[in-house]
Structure 1
Amino acid sequence: MTTMTQTSARFREFKMPDVGEGLTEAEILKWFVQPGDTVTDGQVVCEVETAKAAVELPIPFDGVVHELRFSEGTTVDVGQVIITVDVAPGSEDEAPAPAPAQEPVEAAAPAPAPAAEEPKGRTPVLVGYGVAESSTKRRPRKGAVAPEAAAVAAAVQAELNGHGSPAPVVADAPVGRPLAKPPVRKLAKDLGIDLATVVPTGKDGIITREDVHAAAAPAEAVTAAPEVAEPVAVAFPETPATVGSARETRIPVKGVRKAIAQAMVGSAFTAPHVTEFVTVDVTRTMKLVAELKEDKEMAGVRVNPLLIIAKALLVAIKRNPEVNAAWDEANQEIVQKHYVNLGIAAATPRGLIVPNIKDAHDKTLPQLAAALGELVATARDGKTSPAAMAGGTVTITNVGVFGVDTGTPILNPGESAILAVGAIKLQAWVHKGKVKPRQVTTLALSFDHRLVDGELGSKVLADVAAILEQPKRLITWA
């Protein structure tokens, strides 16, 4: 790797961003560019693995790659420079004085200018810096990052995090480059649209995807192209274990495994766990599953016992809404959720992840089946995004697929309850006064005893069991 001895106005730095959920570090999995390669605004330059997912990073400016600061497999802290780009190639004859490199921002002026020092009290995000913690107003210094640039950077980060948070107020747009986020610029480039000709409708004059499509529609010169989505996770094999000797193997704890360990320790020693169990006859549920597989309304979606169990849990939460809550330690408040983001624990080659189905309580059975199928397929392919794993309220973990009767699951941090589903087995069971072979399973519900007392937890578990025993209650209770 080359080593840059000085930084001038012609060089711009791209720092490791926080790609979501307040992560502090990420491992560089793969570089897609090398020194000397030409890069364009919105081009993916590398792939990094955070504690939650693998994410592709687009660079927010044009130029020629000057230096890659870290090699593949290196863990880098958020805010560290990972790549420098020559934004004024071909000007070697000039002899600019050394100066701090300008932080890349979306609303940068057309001509590169000397940059200010990294703002104190700000956290690096995907593009530029977030809003400063201090509200003290200072006179702008020459070359400092413009407030409108920081606002656009914050807007980009809000979109990537999937939180939909409103962007900071943006001042009048500077003359020059139109305001747009990297995915929108890439979309416009793919469709052959000049952003300068697009009328912005986004807040504070930011061009949206809809604006680009609207500009492309009248021309009828190109066919509809898929929008450029937010960075998604891509599956990569686990880092090879480091063999210490013939008698033992040492494996570095990082990435998803490190996040799992920290989350589980934090959950176990923060929330007082209580677990209750119930064994239930699910023969009628299994018959319903078989019938639904033949139903035309369910054509094209996967129907399995987990679908009915998920629907049963959603109905139980509707009947006992107090169970769907969170504990706010800072404000000493119980936050009751009026929506259910249903988490489904999934074992993947990268470790255990818990993506969730947003607003699962509003979905019909076919919609829930489709969402479950998409969630499982995405997790299996290693493409689950950080946003898909954020904001869960209640989780289901199906340990029965491994032949296990049940377990005592640990709460996903920030959630109030988790339901473990054991293996469904043919067992001798007393049915209508006679011992008969029936399909039986054991359920285990763990809950946060600060939020959920024994009576409430028992009601939720009993309701789930009752529905699985008599699935027609889905009609009468839902």
Structure 2
Amino acid sequence: MPEFKQFPLSDTAEGLTEADIIAWQVKVGDTVTVNQIVVEIETAKAAVELPIPWAGVVTELHVEPGQTVEVGTPILTMDVDPGGAAAPAAAVAPAAPEEEEMKPLVGYGSKTVVTQRRARKTNGAPAPAPVAVAPAPVAPAPVAAAPVTPAPVPVAPKGGYVPLAKPPVRKLAKELGVDLHALTGTANGGVITRDDVHQAANGTPVEAAAVSTVDPSTRERRVKIKGVRKATAAAMVQSAYTAPHVTEFLTIDVTPMMELRERLKKNRAFAGLKLTPLAFAAKAVCMAVKRTPDINAVWDEAAQEIVFKDYVHLGIAAATPRGLVVPKVRDADAMSLTELAAALGELTDVARSGKTTPEAMSNGTFTITNVGVFGVDTGTPIINPGESAILCLGAIKDTPWVVDGEIKVRKVLQLSLSFDHRVVDGQQGSEFLADVGALLADPAMAMTY
């Protein structure tokens, strides 16, 4: 007989609570195989493709593209035994203990979820049909018919009105004894929020938010804050108001570096590689960190410790269609210039395609942001959370420069370094910035490190 299973939204091993559905890769009636990609989602960190752990036929898609869904919510139902024979009308499932395991999705560290149903005492009477418990399979109707999926929300007793609220909010309302039917949601579309429930529980009247309308005369366009943009904003606010930022600036003549770059392009070791000033900056940072390890440390507020890291996971801030992401080059300090150039090229291509994984953006130790690609001279960047410093590269421009007492046109670059003053003192920050500048102004200085 047909066997139906519901596929819940996975947490993708990053501890997030919700994600946005970007696009379905399947439709109702499609036959899918084990580990086939069925949906693309956007979390607060990146776009992720989710494979399904079963084979079968898709019977229902529960959410539309663009919707925000909480982790654990069923998003797809499928028949994993489409070729099974239909059960007779009087057939009843035996009352026996059952245990089903949802295996982790390939490529993601999803937790193993086990659902268990107890055997019921029948006292000689026929056993009732088993009740489906998410993410266990939905029990099919006893007769051979089209699959019937339970509604995601209960039917309301008051004139068919169903309060708009997510499952956690419904649970909170039940715990506090609040009738959701008596509330008007303040979120967009009249959705009831946790604050609405708490205010009702405290006897505070809830003011309904005005329903948004499209008015061409305002010449305004509103976009909901979610996904990568929402996560970036939260991280930047946390960093700006937690770490005491200090920013220092340095202007240098990088003509020797640019001349070396031109020579290396002709070297067969760099054949096929895009050798950019960013690669030189990455190498300089990794070398300078060894002389000023505090730059690569981090403040642990909970443990009241400064954590020094003997490796450099170098973050590169990248602008993408979905917002700013900071993927990491792992163990960048162990790489040669050719290896860094190759890694940076691959990292940039993946980021621009929107396929950077959450794992690739975690556990960084230092970040470089390159505003020079936009023709900008410099900036005061905000430190990435979990790190203590960030280096900003400006545009390399032809500029009048004094060389041996004479004014000449040189390739000039402005650097700025923001650092956490709890971890890095002014002397250490200045020495690090001076080291990076010296290595870029005269690459031969690397021989002395």
From the superposition, tell whether residues 78 and 103 of structure 1 become closer, same or farther in structure 2 (CA, over 3 Å).
farther
User: Partner letter of residue 87 of structure 2?
Assistant: D
Match of 1:64 in 2: 57
Query: 1:17 offset after TM fit, Å?
Result: 0.6
How many Å separate the matches in 2 of 1:125 and 1:17?
Answer: 9
Q: Contact 1:9–1:102 (CA<8 Å) still a contact in 2?
A: no
Q: Contact 2:13–2:111 (CA<8 Å) still a contact in 1?
A: no
Aligned residue pairs: how many? 348
Q: Answer yes or no: is 1:447 the counterpart of 2:412.
A: no
Q: Contact 1:12–1:103 (CA<8 Å) still a contact in 2?
A: no
How many Å separate the matches in 2 of 1:260 and 1:101?
Answer: 44
How many Å separate the matches in 1 of 2:439 and 2:55?
Answer: 58
Q: Answer yes or no: is 1:126 the counterpart of 2:97.
A: no
How many Å separate the matches in 1 of 2:99 and 2:39?
Answer: 20
Q: Contact 2:399–2:412 (CA<8 Å) still a contact in 1?
A: yes
Match of 1:264 in 2: 236
- 1:405 paired residue among 354, 361, 377: 377
Q: Contact 1:409–1:418 (CA<8 Å) still a contact in 2?
A: yes
Q: Secondary structure at the match of 2:368?
A: strand
Q: Answer yes or no: is 1:93 the counterpart of 2:90.
A: no
- 1:336 paired residue among 308, 318, 325: 308
User: Partner letter of residue 272 of structure 1?
Assistant: P
How many Å separate the matches in 1 of 2:40 and 2:99?
Answer: 23
From the superposition, tell whether residues 343 and 42 of structure 1 become closer, same or farther in structure 2 (CA, over 3 Å).
same
- 1:303 paired residue among 275, 281, 286: 275
Q: Secondary structure at the match of 1:21?
A: coil
Query: 1:104 offset after TM fit, Å?
Result: 5.2
Match of 2:296 in 1: 324
From the superposition, tell whether residues 252 and 102 of structure 1 become closer, same or farther in structure 2 (CA, over 3 Å).
farther
Deviates more, 1:365-374 or 1:21-30: 21-30
What does residue range 247-258 of structure 1 map to in structure 2 within 5 Å?
247-258=219-230
- 1:38 paired residue among 23, 31, 41: 31
User: Partner letter of residue 66 of structure 2?
Assistant: G
Match of 1:73 in 2: 66
From the superposition, tell whether residues 102 and 82 of structure 1 become closer, same or farther in structure 2 (CA, over 3 Å).
farther
Q: Which deviations, in whole Å up to 9, do the C-alpha atoms of 1:175-219 show, x marking residues without a partner?
A: xxxxxxxxxxxxxxxxxxxxxxxxxxxxxxxxxxxxxxxxxxxxx
How many Å separate the matches in 2 of 1:419 and 1:106?
Answer: 42
How many Å separate the matches in 1 of 2:329 and 2:86?
Answer: 54
What does residue range 380-419 of structure 1 map to in structure 2 within 5 Å?
380-419=352-391
Query: 1:97 offset after TM fit, Å?
Result: 6.7
CA RMSD of aligned residues (A): 2.7
Deviates more, 1:279-288 or 1:58-67: 58-67
From the superposition, tell whether residues 23 and 412 of structure 1 become closer, same or farther in structure 2 (CA, over 3 Å).
same
From the superposition, tell whether residues 98 and 62 of structure 1 become closer, same or farther in structure 2 (CA, over 3 Å).
farther
User: Partner letter of residue 128 of structure 1?
Assistant: T
Match of 1:50 in 2: 43
Query: 1:35 offset after TM fit, Å?
Result: 2.6
Q: Answer yes or no: is 1:245 the counterpart of 2:222.
A: no
From the superposition, tell whether residues 52 and 103 of structure 1 become closer, same or farther in structure 2 (CA, over 3 Å).
farther
User: Partner letter of residue 370 of structure 1?
Assistant: A
Q: Contact 1:243–1:250 (CA<8 Å) still a contact in 2?
A: no
Q: Contact 1:341–1:358 (CA<8 Å) still a contact in 2?
A: yes
Q: Answer yes or no: is 1:11 the counterpart of 2:4.
A: yes
Q: Contact 2:2–2:85 (CA<8 Å) still a contact in 1?
A: no
From the superposition, tell whether residues 349 and 383 of structure 1 become closer, same or farther in structure 2 (CA, over 3 Å).
same
TM-score under structure 1 length normalisation: 0.68
Q: Secondary structure at the match of 1:249?
A: coil
How many Å separate the matches in 2 of 1:80 and 1:316?
Answer: 48
Q: Contact 2:240–2:382 (CA<8 Å) still a contact in 1?
A: yes
Q: Which deviations, in whole Å up to 9, do the C-alpha atoms of 1:277-303 show, x marking residues without a partner?
A: 111111111111111111122112111
Q: Contact 1:301–1:369 (CA<8 Å) still a contact in 2?
A: yes
How many Å separate the matches in 2 of 1:270 and 1:314?
Answer: 26
| Structure 2: segments with no counterpart, 5+ residues | 120-212
Match of 1:24 in 2: 17
Q: Contact 1:14–1:104 (CA<8 Å) still a contact in 2?
A: no
How many Å separate the matches in 1 of 2:93 and 2:111?
Answer: 26
Q: Secondary structure at the match of 2:387?
A: coil
User: Partner letter of residue 441 of structure 2?
Assistant: E
Q: Contact 2:101–2:113 (CA<8 Å) still a contact in 1?
A: no
How many Å separate the matches in 1 of 2:310 and 2:220?
Answer: 50
Query: 1:15 offset after TM fit, Å?
Result: 0.8
Q: Contact 2:103–2:113 (CA<8 Å) still a contact in 1?
A: no
Q: Contact 1:342–1:396 (CA<8 Å) still a contact in 2?
A: yes
What does residue range 458-469 of structure 1 map to in structure 2 within 5 Å?
458-469=430-441
| Structure 1: segments with no counterpart, 5+ residues | 1-7, 108-123, 133-139, 144-241
How many Å separate the matches in 2 of 1:370 and 1:329?
Answer: 36
User: Partner letter of residue 304 of structure 2?
Assistant: Q
How many Å separate the matches in 1 of 2:100 and 2:396?
Answer: 57
Q: Secondary structure at the match of 1:266?
A: helix
Q: Which deviations, in whole Å up to 9, do the C-alpha atoms of 1:81-105 show, x marking residues without a partner?
A: 1112223334443555799997652
Query: 1:142 offset after TM fit, Å?
Result: 4.5
Match of 2:250 in 1: 278
Query: 1:243 offset after TM fit, Å?
Result: 5.8
Deviates more, 1:353-362 or 1:19-28: 19-28
Match of 1:314 in 2: 286
Q: Secondary structure at the match of 1:57?
A: strand
Q: Contact 1:13–1:102 (CA<8 Å) still a contact in 2?
A: no
Q: Which deviations, in whole Å up to 9, do the C-alpha atoms of 1:11-69 show, x marking residues without a partner?
A: 22211111132121111111122233222221211111112221111111223223211
From the superposition, tell whether residues 463 and 106 of structure 1 become closer, same or farther in structure 2 (CA, over 3 Å).
same
Match of 2:403 in 1: 431
- 1:371 paired residue among 339, 343, 357: 343
- 1:356 paired residue among 317, 322, 328: 328
Q: Contact 1:17–1:125 (CA<8 Å) still a contact in 2?
A: no
How many Å separate the matches in 1 of 2:270 and 2:357?
Answer: 27
How many Å separate the matches in 1 of 2:249 and 2:324?
Answer: 23
Q: Secondary structure at the match of 2:447?
A: helix
How many Å separate the matches in 1 of 2:32 and 2:99?
Answer: 17
How many Å separate the matches in 1 of 2:399 and 2:373?
Answer: 17
Q: Flag the structure with larger Rg.
A: 2
User: Partner letter of residue 227 of structure 2?
Assistant: G
Q: Secondary structure at the match of 2:216?
A: coil
Q: Which deviations, in whole Å up to 9, do the C-alpha atoms of 1:248-297 show, x marking residues without a partner?
A: 11111111111111111111111111111111111111111111111122
How many Å separate the matches in 1 of 2:63 and 2:75?
Answer: 6
Q: Percent identity?
A: 57
From the superposition, tell whether residues 9 and 438 of structure 1 become closer, same or farther in structure 2 (CA, over 3 Å).
same
How many Å separate the matches in 2 of 1:73 and 1:369?
Answer: 37
Match of 1:105 in 2: 102
